[in-house]
A and B are shown apart, each in its own frame.
Chain A
């Protein structure tokens, strides 16, 4: 369950402001990132349209025929051990997995960014938030995740909270905090203060907008980590609530059938790998595009 690692903002000098359009152009110029973008777009679309596209309901069992059955013209991805159509389940599973990835990151931004901003801005708050992040990082992640799942009961909601609190919020706080610290020391922020700007104005108008890049980069790297994290939670029996599928739940429940029904593991497995790989490529592309040094070619 990796993914706690924060991206260390590249150190020196203030970034020459990059316009959004330039960033976009850079991403578009990066073929790997483009591939990632296309794959992610297709996956999100498929997830949104799942109820329309799926040929069968995700919980449509069929006990009258032998199951699991291999892929066939009727069931493109085969069926699982209860005779359910794997293609439909993968589509709905994609939905749950993408939701977990997106919402856990949204939650970590909602909690981590304000805390990081305040900690970086107000020195007296720093020790408190620092202890909090230290505590979260020092605490064995799994105990935290399992504990939450035990109290709240395994569900999509629990997985989102467990992944956000255990794996993402501390990193988000740290990144935002160090960006804030860096930006606070820059001349233009000092100038804003000198002009009598209020704290809130400085934070909202000068610091946050410039910290967004680092936060975005961190977020794009957390989404795939959360999707994999959900799969691992499912492996431990802490995934979404049945009968809803997620890619992780499908992969975990296919486990005993590695030989009896390999298609049960192959299709959700391939989808999860392709999706997270695409997200990672996109994330790295975005990160490069936001990095001022990337423009220069090496000596």
Chain B
């Protein structure tokens, strides 16, 4: 275990290092530099050069990179040349929004995906399976900006039951916070629901034909108990898998949801940073999401060994 962990750790660090190099060089390969882009409609070549010099963007790339890395180690991700604000602060402001959105979306996905998956597995080859399948797949088949816009029109404007957008920190006003998060969470969650449905269904099917379940049934356990116990345990694995693999989608892929619901999260920060060539901001965001991805996948791997269904579920049921 210790050796395995050490190996994973080394691999993670290599990946992280590669990510910083790639983003560092990648964004500088894009046409346009931060100062000129910022200048937008008002451009003064002299001022542009001065700004690039002030932020060190005129230095040789290796020098810039080493400087950046050195500062990053101390937690200083630099200053946005666009706003003059600290990148670390901006990320810390965006983080709770994105985390909450991701968590709620996952909750929605689990509710829909898990029930659809269980139904599809238990009631095979019938209208119930088709219905469950279609509902879950529908989420995957609708562009989320469309779904989001429809939600706003319906619930915020015609019925007026939910706010159109905006973010209120959970600690300020939990009820208002949830009112504003519910639509974005559903929009983002429906896409993931189908993935969870598929996973749940196949693992349920596998389980229902497994020997130990037959044994359990033989011992007189109710089918319902088997299904529920199994489904719930399995959901844990499914969710960790999906979180691990879909984190990128949950963080940066949420950009559309975030911009329609005006949530000041990671997605918006990322997209605008690219469009304005805000180098320090892009670097900060990539460093952060890459780290998060790696840490979560490390945890997922560890969790697998802890909650392996065959061992745990088998032991519990028998």
Binding site for B on A (CB under 8 A): 1-8, 10-11, 31-32, 127, 130-131, 134-135, 137-143, 146-147, 150-151, 224-225, 228, 231-232, 235-236, 248, 251-252, 255, 258, 265, 269, 272-273, 276-277, 280-281, 284, 291, 293-294, 296-299
Contact = CB atoms under 8 A, between A and B. Distances in A.
Contact of B141 (A140, A147, A258, A273): A273
Contacts of B141: 224, 228, 272-273, 276-277, 280
Contact of A147 (B153, B202, B208, B274): B274
Contacts of A138: 15-16, 19, 248, 289-290, 293-294
A130 B282 CA distance: 24
A135 B248 contact: no
B274 to A, nearest CB: 5
A294 B121 CA distance: 10
A127 B11 CA distance: 8
A277 B137 contact: yes
Contacts of B271: 142, 146, 236
Contacts of B23: 139, 143
A291 B205 CA distance: 11
Contacts of B138: 273, 277
B214 interface: yes
B167 interface: no
Given A5-B245, A138-B19, A284-B137, 7 more contacts: A2-B191, A5-B246, A139-B248, A141-B253, A231-B143, A248-B143, A273-B141
Contact of A135 (B22, B134, B214, B241): B22
Contact of B30 (A7, A151, A231, A298): A151
A118 to B, nearest CB: 19
Interface of B: 11, 14-16, 18-19, 22-23, 26-27, 29-31, 121-122, 124, 130, 133-134, 137-138, 140-146, 149, 153, 191-192, 194-195, 198-199, 202, 205-206, 208-209, 213-214, 217, 223, 241-242, 245-246, 248-249, 251-253, 255-256, 267, 270-271, 274-275, 282, 285-286, 289-290, 293-294
B242 A5 contact: yes
A139 to B, nearest CB: 6
B130 A31 contact: yes
Contacts of A272: 141, 143
B209 A296 contact: yes
A291 B26 CA distance: 42
Nearest to A276: B141
A2 B143 contact: no
Contact of A141 (B26, B122, B248, B282): B248
Contacts of A1: 249, 253
Contact of B285 (A140, A235, A276): A140
Contacts, number: 171
A2 B249 contact: yes
A273 B142 contact: yes
A297 B125 CA distance: 10
A252 B14 CA distance: 39
A73 B246 CA distance: 46
B12 to A, nearest CB: 8
A265 B146 contact: yes
B22 to A, nearest CB: 7
A150 B30 contact: yes
A140 B15 contact: no
Of listed A5, A138, A146, residue having the most chain B CB within 10 A: A138
A293 B192 contact: no
Contacts of B253: 1-2, 141-142
A150 B31 contact: yes
Contacts of A280: 137, 140-141, 194
B256 A235 contact: yes
Contact of B245 (A6, A235, A248, A258): A6
Closest 5 CB pairs of A and B: A140-B252, A276-B141, A298-B208, A1-B253, A138-B290
A3 B122 CA distance: 26
B27 A147 contact: yes
B140 A298 contact: no
Given A140-B270, A151-B30, A265-B146, A228 B140 contact: yes
Given A255-B149, A299-B208, A232 B256 contact: yes
B206 A10 contact: yes
B144 to A, nearest CB: 7
B241 A8 contact: yes
A154 to B, nearest CB: 13
Contacts of A137: 245, 248, 293
Nearest to A274: B141
Contact of B294 (A134, A140, A284, A293): A134
B281 to A, nearest CB: 11
B244 to A, nearest CB: 9
Given A10-B206, A32-B133, A235 B286 contact: no
B209 A298 contact: yes
A139 B19 contact: yes
B143 A235 contact: yes
A292 to B, nearest CB: 11
A298 B275 CA distance: 53
Contacts of B124: 297-298
Contacts of B31: 150-151
B140 A4 contact: no
